Amino acid sequence: MIRPRNLADVVRRILLLVVIVVVGIVLWRNWDEVAPQISAVSPTAWVAAGAAALISPFLTLMGWRRVLADLGSPLSPANAASVFMVGQLGKYVPGSLWSVLVAAEVARRLGVPRQRTAVVGLITLAMALLTGIGLGVPALPAMADLGERTMLILLGVSAVVMMVVLYPAVLNRLIDTGLRMIRRGPLTHPLSGPAIFQMALWFLLSWVATGVAMWVLARELVEPGGDTAYLALVCITGFPLATSLGMLSVFIPAGAGVREGLLVVLLVGLLTAPAAAAVAILVRFLTVVTDVVWALAGWAWGRVHRLTGPVEG
């Protein structure tokens, strides 16, 4: 008879295998479309885009770690990476909550209660959506070719709305309401103002970093005389919008297809249709590779420090 603890290890290993297979399929399916575009992007642009994309998950990690510490479970950056980065591969399995479940299991080995990790994971998803949509809403005028001024005005309005929602009394009430709706206990104490501000800032910087990576790639494929400054604004706001809407498609791994379709719509007025499709595919490829690199680094650290092996006792 399989003991519950051994069963949990079996389930965890099966989940890891499924994640690896799904990630492999994502890379394999995109490779034939990515390969012909590599020659059109300069090595310098690849290095710059890769660096920006590589920074993005680290910034998200710092926001996640800040809230976890605020709720009473501080972790070093390395230990936090072994939890958060490995858990992020769960988003490639249909259902966005897999990443929360994977992170909760690994964090348990560091003395972090599963409930706390799960709640912080849910807060992280909500904050990613809030900041992503808040930063991304200004990209909507680009679909109707309304111009840079309209985008900047909408960015200002969105910033005011975000500040209201992120006000500690408002956000904590929203969190408590959400936890009650999913039948979870309340937070041990309300999130502090500094924790909320810092988490939001880390997440916004993370979105900007990936938007910059997208812009670096798109700039290589823009037609001569194209407005690269406006293109930067569209990329930095358009990527978080498309990704956030993709995240809402919880049964589609990492919003595959949803994000790409929206990015093409946003870019097609500034790039040719083939170039817009190429940028969307290249960004998907780059972010998947980045997630795998961070996950391998987190897994290696966890393996060395026995955070990913069978539980003893």
Structural domain contains residue 84: yes
Structural domain contains residue 29: no
What does the pLDDT read at residue 276?
84
Residue 105 confidence (pLDDT) above 90: no
Structural domain contains residue 1: no
Residue type, 219: R
The pTM (predicted TM-score) of the whole model is 0.79
Structural domain contains residue 38: no
Residue 131 confidence (pLDDT) above 80: yes
Structural domain contains residue 16: no
Domain extent, residue 228, equals 43-302
What does the pLDDT read at residue 259?
78
Residue 182 confidence (pLDDT) above 80: no
Residue 307 confidence (pLDDT) above 60: no
300 CB-contact burial (10 Å; exposed 0-12 / middle 13-18 / buried 19+): middle
Catalogue the long-range contacts made by 179-183 (C-beta closer than 8 Å, 24 or more residues apart).
Answer: 179/119, 179/122, 182/122
Which pLDDT band holds residue 14 (cuts at 50, 70, 90)?
A: low
Q: What is the tens place of the pLDDT at every residue in 134-173?
A: 998 888 887 766 667 788 888 888 889 989 999 999 999 9
Give the range among 41-55, 85-99, 115-129 with minimum mean pLDDT.
85-99
What does the pLDDT read at residue 91?
61
Residue 184 confidence (pLDDT) above 70: yes
Residue 183 confidence (pLDDT) above 50: yes
Mean per-residue pLDDT for 107-128? 82
Report how far residue 148's alpha carbon sits from residue 168's, in angstroms, rounded to the nearest whole number: 32
What does the pLDDT read at residue 208?
96
Other beta carbons less than 10 A from residue 305's beta carbon: 14
Contacts of 299 (CB under 8 A, 6+ apart): 82, 85, 86, 308
Q: What is the tens place of the pLDDT at every residue in 18-36?
A: 555 655 565 566 566 656 7
Q: First and final CA of the chain: distance in angstroms?
A: 17
User: Looking at residue 125, what DSSP letter applies?
Assistant: H
Structural domain contains residue 35: no
What does the pLDDT read at residue 312?
38
Structural domain contains residue 104: yes
Report how far residue 259's alpha carbon sits from residue 284's, in angstroms, rounded to the nearest whole number: 9
Residue type, 160: V
Main-chain dihedrals φ then ψ at residue 134, nearest 5 degrees: -60, -45
What does the pLDDT read at residue 309?
46
Report how far residue 61's alpha carbon sits from residue 81's, in angstroms, rounded to the nearest whole number: 7
User: Looking at residue 248, what DSSP letter applies?
Assistant: T
Q: How many domains does the chain have?
A: 1
What does the pLDDT read at residue 202?
96
Closest CA to 231 of 270, 276, 204, 278: 270
Report how far residue 255's alpha carbon sits from residue 250's, in angstroms, rounded to the nearest whole number: 7
What does the pLDDT read at residue 251?
46
Report how far residue 69's alpha carbon sits from residue 276's, in angstroms, rounded to the nearest whole number: 41
Residue 193 confidence (pLDDT) above 50: yes
What does the pLDDT read at residue 30?
57
Q: Identify the three-state secondary structure at position 182.
A: coil
Which tokens sit at 6? 């051994």
Give the residue, 130 or 87, on which the prediction is more confident: 130
Q: What is the tens place of the pLDDT at every residue in 249-261?
A: 654 444 456 777 7
**CA 163: distance to chain centroid?**
21
What does the pLDDT read at residue 15?
53
Residue 301 confidence (pLDDT) above 80: no
What does the pLDDT read at residue 313?
33
Mean per-residue pLDDT for 111-115? 80
Report how far residue 11's alpha carbon sits from residue 1's, in angstroms, rounded to the nearest whole number: 15
Which pLDDT band holds residue 87 (cuts at 50, 70, 90)?
A: low
Q: What is the tens place of the pLDDT at every residue in 208-223?
A: 999 999 999 999 888 7
Residue type, 178: G
Helix residue spans in 222-270 (DSSP H): 228-247, 258-267
Structural domain contains residue 313: no
Residue 81 parent element (H or E): helix 77-88
